[in-house]
Amino acid sequence: MAVHTSEPVSATAHLSDVDIKEIGRELDQLRDEITASLGESDARYIRRVIAVQRRLEVSGRTLLMVSILPPAWLAGTACLAVAKILENMEIGHNVLHGQWDWMRDPEIHSTTWEWDSATPADMWKHSHNFVHHTYTNVLGKDRDIGYAVLRVSPEQPWHPVYLAQPVYNAVLAAFFEWGIAIYDIELERAWRGEKSWAATLNQLRGVARKAGRQVVKDYLAFPLLAGPSALPALLGNITANMARNVWSHTVIFCGHFPDGAEVFPEDQLDGESRGEWYLRQLLGSANITGGPLLHLMTGNLSHQIEHHLFPDLPSNRYAEIAPKVRDLCERYGLRYNAGSLLRQTATVWKNVLRLALPSPSRRAAGDAVPDYFAATTR
């Protein structure tokens, strides 16, 4: 299995074809066992999370109606921020992955759910569920490697604009939902002639409609309903959205770009077996260690490895799956990349700073450069 890593020898070089096939068989069996055991307790879990999220949102917006009083502003903003994080991470992201489609509940189904984000659900499902989860960490195929504007791996060629990436990554964190909305339009593919401008403009209109509804809801309607508390209510909504954005950015980056997360060449996809696909997901992802509250607030993306192995299994099962995946890694001599939130965040930012500087790229000559800057330098 060919893998580009910071080490001269592939992390899977010691595995035989029989080993890789057995890894695939074990993980398929684990998936089948979890799928067969899904039932009412899982359905109660997601319904309970949705109920709590909605109560928090109602509480937050009600308190912001009288947010001219500082204690009400603090409590209302906190409730609304937590509600938005839960909706985005544990509910929206996972519902749109189809994790709860087995319930056959039209209100909690990937085909009907529209989340509290600037990106329309259908557009996000294409860029994330299909492109990212199919081509995970394959340079030139997975656009989520640096989200087309960041250099997060030495395999990516350097460009002078990356000197500013520590600054614009911080800005991206604060406005993450808007950055993702623009990113999902794939403007760089239109610039390179890989996608028609008609299709691009149609997506832009879709984002504009969705973003317009978000702006009206959070920055006009609810603040105006607050009357004398309009300004603090507006500031509360802005703060809650930015808190959600920074948290989402942190969790997602910790799952994809800390030390030890590997990227792969395009030829990795040639004849890739089921076991090799599993290995690519495992080696390209990283977990955040912590307790049940952390896992809930990350949408269980603190179990990013398990999520990439089984993206459509319900997120509440990842804590149960994780020890079995770790055991498999130990038996086959594979790295199970897990660390605290502080550690993973620190290594992400270390890499953002380090890779902003010019350094030789290990990218093979002729590989595609998956970023906006390639479109303007060819």
Give residue-wise pLDDT tens across range 10-27: 788 899 999 999 999 999
How many Å apart are CA 250 and CA 302, to the nearest integer? 11
Question: If 0-12 CB within 10 Å is exposed, 13-18 middle and 19+ buried, where does residue 74 land?
Answer: middle
Largest CA distance in the chain: 70
**Per-residue model confidence (pLDDT) at position 126:** 93
**Per-residue model confidence (pLDDT) at position 11:** 85
Strand, helix or coil for residue 78: helix
**Per-residue model confidence (pLDDT) at position 75:** 98
| pTM of the full structure | 0.91
| Gyration radius from the chain CA atoms | 21
**Per-residue model confidence (pLDDT) at position 362:** 57
**Per-residue model confidence (pLDDT) at position 76:** 98
Mean of pLDDT values over 32-39: 98
φ and ψ at 42, to 5 degrees? -70, -40
Counting residues of the chain whose pLDDT is more than 90, the rounded percentage is 88
**Per-residue model confidence (pLDDT) at position 361:** 57
Q: What confidence category does residue 360 fall into, taking pLDDT thresholds of 50, 70 and 90?
A: low
Tokens of 48: 């309970």
Q: Is residue 377 predicted with pLDDT exceeding 90?
A: no
Q: Is residue 96 predicted with pLDDT exceeding 60?
A: yes
Q: Is residue 368 predicted with pLDDT exceeding 70?
A: no
Q: What confidence category does residue 374 fall into, taking pLDDT thresholds of 50, 70 and 90?
A: very low
Q: What is the pLDDT of residues 100-129, one digit of tens each?
A: 999 999 999 999 999 999 999 999 999 999
Contact 169, 158 (CB under 8 A): no
Q: What is the pLDDT of residues 284-307, one digit of tens each?
A: 999 999 999 999 999 999 999 999
Q: Is residue 8 predicted with pLDDT exceeding 50?
A: no
Q: Which residue has the higher pLDDT, 189 or 354?
A: 354
Q: Is residue 7 predicted with pLDDT exceeding 70?
A: no
**Per-residue model confidence (pLDDT) at position 58:** 98
Q: What is the pLDDT of residues 210-245, one digit of tens each?
A: 999 999 999 999 999 999 999 999 999 999 999 999
Q: Is residue 6 predicted with pLDDT exceeding 60?
A: no
Residue among 188, 168, 372, 364 at smallest CA distance from 264: 364
Tokens of 257: 């770009």
Q: Is residue 330 predicted with pLDDT exceeding 70?
A: yes
